[in-house]
Structure 1
Amino acid sequence: MRGLNHPAIEGIDLVTVLAALGDPVRLGIVAELADGAEHPCVAFDFGITAASMSHHFRVLREAGLTRTRQEGRHRRLTLRRAELDRRFPGLLAPLLAAARDRATHRT
């Protein structure tokens, strides 16, 4: 199995990060990862196909928002929160608050 690309935090640009977070599914994934824990990819249920979920995971990883760890045949995700907060201070907090607000108004 080939290795996964995780861009160096210094190479991540704001436009790419915002484009990745502009999709509601990807913002929802990041909001769930904001608890700081490592999550198995199979734990996310957004009512879309596995192929679509894989696409969203890849976009987040390649944008530099997440780190994916291979564990046998399974993958586990974490949010690169500390690195992102250093690179773009104050960016994630309001976006995560908006995601929580959005999820609250859906229920």
Structure 2
Amino acid sequence: MTAHAPAGAPARLEVIAVLHALADPVRLDLVRQLWDADAAIACGRFDAPVAKSTLSHHFKILRSAGVIATRREGGHAFNVLRTEALDAAFPGLLAAVLPAARP
């Protein structure tokens, strides 16, 4: 992981926290959407079968584990997958858990 972690990201990625975050089907789908988009996505733009408050909880778990980073622009929050940090800490993990995604 680089020395400059995004605000709110853990200083070091922990495998148990990352695996816990990815174990939930809703959170895994959120990660898949970010992977497929290959860009930041506004919170309200995700396709998720849960209420807004539940979605916020899922984002919090993903952020706490260091899987995603969230940046604020005005009144909007944009989420981005921390691909480089995850690949550096756990090579091949994203490709293994998202096999139907891009190569």
Using structure 2 for the length normalisation, give the TM-score: 0.85
Query: How many residues get paired?
Result: 94
Distance 1:83 1:48 in 2: 28
Question: How far off is 1:46 after superposition?
Answer: 1.3
Asked whether 1:18 is paired with 2:19, we answer yes
2:65 partner letter: A
Distance 2:98 2:47 in 1: 18
1:55 match? 57
2:89 match? 87
| Larger Rg computed on CA atoms | 1
Distance 2:86 2:47 in 1: 25
Asked whether 1:27 is paired with 2:28, we answer yes
Percent identical pairs in the alignment equals 45
Q: CA RMSD in A?
A: 1.4
1:6 match? 9
Structure showing the higher helix proportion among its residues:
1
Using structure 1 for the length normalisation, give the TM-score: 0.82
3-state SS in 2 of match to 1:34:
helix
2:69 match? 67
Distance 1:31 1:54 in 2: 17
Distance 1:83 1:12 in 2: 8
Question: How far off is 1:77 after superposition?
Answer: 0.5
3-state SS in 2 of match to 1:86:
helix
Structure 1 segments, 4+ long, off by >2 Å, are: none
Distance 1:54 1:84 in 2: 22
Question: How far off is 1:45 after superposition?
Answer: 2.2
